[in-house]
């Protein structure tokens, strides 16, 4: 048999194991995973991966490409956003629909598909933004239709009332009891919106960028996590907390899990590795995002949550906004579009500051980047290096470092929170269904070939 691709002699990481192997690919699928033999099989393309680490393709389950921001859009569209993702070892991302509050959920998906299909280099899917539930004529019918269309996860917010995004407690109750019944999952952005809005008006504009962390203190997240967890308990529903930033939130999720609540969580590299001291830098205002960077005392509890299994996933929450777009803030955070680019640096940041420093193992990183997102988000045949699975890989050289320079990243953003940082773990090769997206450290895809992934029932971990 002549295979399409052979990956020989790499150290694969999958299923909690690290093993030297040869991986043979045919028709976009993994045809065989064999013990490394030193013999070259017949293949159209052969890569010698001696000394390299072979991971399943990264699944970034939280991105914001082509996001509507008032009268404009975030600066990464699906084309360059997915290219940046590929250059970070990501082969699948999950973004969000963005229909108005109370609008048809499936129509929201169709609108996003119209923007994304034929424009992404990686595979992709969407969470269904679930806002204005009480405005829907029959929310159960709509949610069932969304699940049938392949969106088995729903995004809700405990903040952003002025933007029409905040869910009321009764809406959370109805959404969670519905997902418990239909086998879906609610993902929640947790900040106490009323208090955040109060403190924002209190501190802005007098305090400039310092108003951002002061207006969204850690307790606003912790309180919301606890409140939603109790609603999940009452409805016997699983719940997934996105971008946890506070150590107290980790403790709250852990306590919930210990009492039998089906609570899961994700965090992001900037909350694991950075602190609110970034805002004191000369251009610290560029790093505005919500939740904001917190005091460094929160970093280690988040790492501990990852290492101990309280946090199941790491995602980027990538939302690129250019310097020019942010400059309209005029020292008032209420005018500031929030978000930072992060897809391309997602894996390298965690590999550099987590794996190489011993905070988490390589196997655990793969669980949080590949295996758990595939299982929790209902993505079949991805996330593992197994026969029959999609031939998606991120190949890294553990001894190769790259100094981060925003001018060389694929994101449409002219800054990076990691600017000037030496990082390991940028992929030498990124492979999607047997096709080279990145080869020898260079973007190599000739045209977008990403596919929409219809997702199935989430697995509760």
pLDDT for the residue 72: 85
Distance, CA of 34 to CA of 19 (rounded, Å): 10
Strands 185-189 and 153-157 turn out to be parallel
**Statement to judge: residues 78 and 155 lie in one domain:** yes
**Statement to judge: residues 228 and 363 lie in one domain:** yes
**Statement to judge: residues 243 and 170 lie in one domain:** yes
Strands 435-439 and 442-443 turn out to be antiparallel
In this predicted structure, the answer to whether residue 38 has a pLDDT above a threshold of 90 is no
**Statement to judge: residues 304 and 191 lie in one domain:** yes
Provide the token pair at 272.
Answer: 């694991």
pLDDT 10s digits, 325-345: 999 999 999 999 999 999 999
**Statement to judge: residues 16 and 133 lie in one domain:** no
pLDDT for the residue 70: 83
For residue 238, give its domain range: 56-376
Sequence-distant (≥ 6) Cβ neighbours of residue 87 within 8 angstroms? 344, 409, 410, 426, 427, 430, 438, 443
Distance, CA of 148 to CA of 141 (rounded, Å): 11
Provide the token pair at 354.
Answer: 């987590």
**Statement to judge: residues 96 and 167 lie in one domain:** yes
pLDDT for the residue 414: 95
**Statement to judge: residues 77 and 149 lie in one domain:** yes
* C-alpha distances out from residue 399 to 276, 355, 363, 396, 424, Å: 30, 13, 18, 9, 7
pLDDT 10s digits, 293-317: 999 999 999 999 999 999 999 999 9
**Statement to judge: residues 227 and 290 lie in one domain:** yes
Question: How many residues are recorded in the chain?
Answer: 461
pLDDT for the residue 40: 92
**Statement to judge: residues 125 and 158 lie in one domain:** yes
pLDDT for the residue 71: 81
The phi, psi pair for 32, rounded to 5°, reads -160, 145
pLDDT for the residue 55: 98
pLDDT for the residue 433: 98
Question: Per the domain annotation, does 382 fall within a domain?
Answer: no
pLDDT 10s digits, 362-421: 999 999 999 999 999 999 999 999 999 999 999 999 999 999 999 999 999 999 999 999
Q: How many C-beta atoms lie closer than 10 Å to residue 322's C-beta?
A: 18
| Distance of alpha carbon 36 from the chain centroid | 33
pLDDT for the residue 133: 98
Please give the mean pLDDT across all residues of the chain.
97
Omega prior to 291 cis, within 30 of 0: yes
pLDDT 10s digits, 64-77: 999 998 888 999 99
pLDDT for the residue 284: 97
pLDDT-derived band at 260 (thresholds 50, 70, 90) equals very high
In this predicted structure, the answer to whether residue 7 has a pLDDT above a threshold of 90 is yes
> Could you give the angle at which helices 105-116 and 139-148 cross, rounded to 10 degrees?
30
């Amino acid at each position: 048999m002549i295979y399409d691709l052979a990956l020989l002699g790499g150290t694969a990481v999958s299923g909690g194991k690290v093993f030297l192997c040869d991986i043979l690919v045919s028709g976009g699928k993994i045809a065989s995973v064999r013990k490394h033999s030193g013999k070259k099989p017949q293949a159209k393309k052969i890569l010698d991966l001696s000394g390299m680490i072979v991971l399943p393709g990264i699944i970034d389950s939280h991105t914001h490409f082509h996001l509507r921001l008032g009268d404009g859009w975030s600066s990464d569209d699906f084309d360059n956003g997915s290219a940046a993702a590929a250059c970070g070892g990501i082969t699948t991302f999950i973004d969000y629909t963005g229909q108005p509050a109370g609008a048809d959920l499936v129509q929201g998906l169709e609108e996003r598909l119209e923007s994304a299909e034929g424009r992404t280099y990686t595979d992709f899917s969407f969470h269904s933004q679930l806002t204005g539930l009480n405005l829907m004529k029959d929310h159960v019918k709509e949610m069932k239709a969304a699940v049938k269309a392949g969106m088995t996860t729903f995004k809700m917010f405990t903040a952003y009332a002025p933007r029409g995004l905040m869910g009321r407690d009764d809406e959370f109750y109805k959404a969670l009891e519905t997902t418990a019944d239909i086998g879906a999952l609610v993902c929640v952005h947790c900040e106490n919106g009323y208090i955040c809005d109060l403190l924002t008006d209190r501190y802005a504009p007098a305090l400039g960028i310092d108003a951002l962390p002061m207006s969204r203190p850690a307790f606003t997240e912790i309180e919301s996590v606890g409140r939603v967890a109790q609603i999940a308990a009452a409805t016997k529903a699983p719940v997934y907390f996105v971008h946890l930033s506070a150590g107290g939130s980790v403790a709250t999720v852990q306590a919930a899990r210990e009492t039998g609540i089906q609570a899961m969580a994700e965090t992001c590299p900037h909350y694991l590795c950075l602190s609110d001291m970034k805002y004191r830098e000369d251009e610290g205002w560029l790093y505005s995002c919500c939740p904001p960077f917190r005091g460094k005392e929160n970093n280690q509890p988040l790492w501990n949550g990852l290492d101990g299994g309280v946090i199941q996933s790491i995602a980027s929450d990538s939302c690129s906004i250019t310097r020019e777009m942010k400059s309209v803030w005029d020292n008032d955070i209420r005018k500031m579009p929030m978000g930072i680019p992060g897809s391309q640096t997602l894996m390298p940041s965690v590999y550099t500051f987590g794996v190489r420093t011993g905070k988490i193992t390589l196997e655990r990183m793969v669980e949080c980047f590949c295996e758990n997102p595939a299982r929790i988000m209902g993505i079949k045949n991805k996330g593992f290096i197994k026969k029959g699975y999609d031939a998606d890989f991120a190949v890294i050289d553990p001894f190769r470092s790259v100094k981060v320079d925003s001018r060389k990243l694929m994101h449409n953003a002219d800054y990076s929170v990691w600017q000037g940082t030496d990082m390991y773990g940028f992929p030498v090769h990124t492979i999607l269904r047997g096709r080279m997206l990145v080869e020898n450290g260079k973007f190599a895809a000739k045209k977008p070939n990403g596919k929409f992934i219809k997702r199935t029932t989430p697995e509760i971990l």
